[in-house]
Amino acid sequence: MKIDTEIRHVSKPGANLFLELGFPPEEARRLHLASQRQINDTRLLKEQLMAELAGWIEQHRLKQAEAAEILMVSRPRVSDMVNRKTTKFTIDTLVEMLSRIGKPVRLVVGP
Those residues with Cβ within 8 angstroms of residue 54's Cβ, 6 or more apart along the chain or in another chain = 81, 82
Q: What pLDDT, on the 0 to 100 scale, is given for residue 108?
A: 85
Q: Which helix (H) or strand (E) holds 67?
A: helix 64-71
Mean pLDDT for 37-45 is 95
Q: What pLDDT, on the 0 to 100 scale, is given for residue 87?
A: 94
pLDDT > 90? residue 103 = yes
Summarize pLDDT for 18-39 with one digit per residue, the tens. Answer: 999 999 999 999 999 999 999 9
Mean pLDDT for 56-72 is 97
How many Å apart are CA 86 and CA 4, to the nearest integer?
Answer: 31
Where in the chain are the domains?
A: 21-100
HSE, side-chain direction, 13 A CA sphere, residue 86:
13
Summarize pLDDT for 45-62 with one digit per residue, the tens. Answer: 999 999 999 999 999 999
Fold of the domain built from segment(s) 21-100? 434 Repressor (Amino-terminal Domain) (1.10.260)
Q: Can you give the pTM of this predicted structure?
A: 0.80
